[in-house]
Structure 1
Amino acid sequence: MLELAQLTTGQELPAYIKEPVTKVQLVKYAGASGDFNPLHTDDAFAQKIGMPGVIAHGMLIMGFLGEYVNHLAGTLATVKDFSMRFGAMTFPKDTITCRGVIKETYEKDGSRFAVLTLYAEKGPEKIVGSGEATLQF
């Protein structure tokens, strides 16, 4: 959980490591999201279109980053803004690590805010998603 008084621009935040992605997780996510594109659930289909196998839904990775931001916010802050850009593909067995850096802190209309730069990566320099979130304290 973050406390605004302890945050400084450029500060790296604690990493949040997810369990390796599984095929079962992709099928469950397809059901929950309504995205039944066989690229996410059917290895034979994925291979027919030139992939080594199924890939994770980009929105699943966005969910991982959202979970990370909410974990950081805890009960001390409210998530006011959240955005993400997709990067490299995520495959079953990939372990996703979510990271954040304080981009800036500021006050506006009597409220205090922290802007976070976010990354989801599956290895050094293999960014699968990046984004930004604003927390209000």
Structure 2
Amino acid sequence: MSRPEIAVGTELPDRTFPVTRADLVRYAGASKDFNPIHWSDRVATAVGLPGVIAHGMLTMALAARAVTEWTGDPAALVEYQVRFGRPVVVPDDDAGAEVVVRGRVASVGDDGRARIDLTVTSSGEKVLSLARAVVRIP
């Protein structure tokens, strides 16, 4: 993969990640997070959620993946932070939900690093707030 242009204002290509209930099962197995809000509509609604929700760390990982795919080097990601804003509700159907990640280079430092501000949404709602990644410029 060729090196991306890294200058203030550069926009990362939008990335859309599908998230299905099957993905939640696989993530639960990998993370050992078997909280029933991630698989049971009955439990999720009983605690006030609109339905089964994706694991926050899964949503966070998808946003990081958009950045590392753009850089072409997972090791280029040197700092990463988010705040969880809203849950990603995953319907019990074949389509599931979509997580859309957009990014823009906000600053490029003399230290060979660039800060990328991310906008992460699902169903048109921002699900991660203050999402920022710092990458080492190759």
TM-score, scaled to structure 2:
0.84
Give how far 1:100 is off.
Answer: 0.4
Distance 2:70 2:80 in 1: 13
1:13 corresponds in structure 2 to 12
Percent of aligned positions that are identical: 34
Q: 1:106 aligns with which of 85, 90, 109?
A: 109
In structure 1, the residue corresponding to 2:12 is in which secondary structure? coil
Deviation >6 Å, runs of 4+ = none
Q: 1:2 to 1:132 in 2, by over 3 A?
A: farther
Give how far 1:133 is off.
Answer: 0.9
> Do structure 1's residue 127 and structure 2's residue 119 form an aligned pair?
no
CA contact under 8 A between 2:68 and 2:74: conserved in structure 1? no
Give how far 1:122 is off.
Answer: 1.3
CA contact under 8 A between 2:114 and 2:135: conserved in structure 1? yes
TM-score, scaled to structure 1:
0.84
> Do structure 1's residue 136 and structure 2's residue 136 form an aligned pair?
yes
Q: 2:32 aligns with which of 31, 34, 53?
A: 34
Number of matched pairs: 131
Distance 1:28 1:136 in 2: 31
2:62 corresponds in structure 1 to 64
Is there any run of 5+ residues in structure 2 with no aligned partner, and where?
A: 91-95
Is there any run of 5+ residues in structure 1 with no aligned partner, and where?
A: none
User: What per-residue deviation string (whole Å, max 9, x for no partner) do you get for residues 26-77 of structure 1?
Assistant: 1211111111111111111112223332111100101101111110110497
Distance 1:76 1:8 in 2: 19
More strand by share: 2
CA contact under 8 A between 1:16 and 1:98: conserved in structure 2? yes
> Considering only aligned residues, what root-mean-square deviation do their CA atoms show, in Å?
2.0
Give how far 1:83 is off.
Answer: 1.2
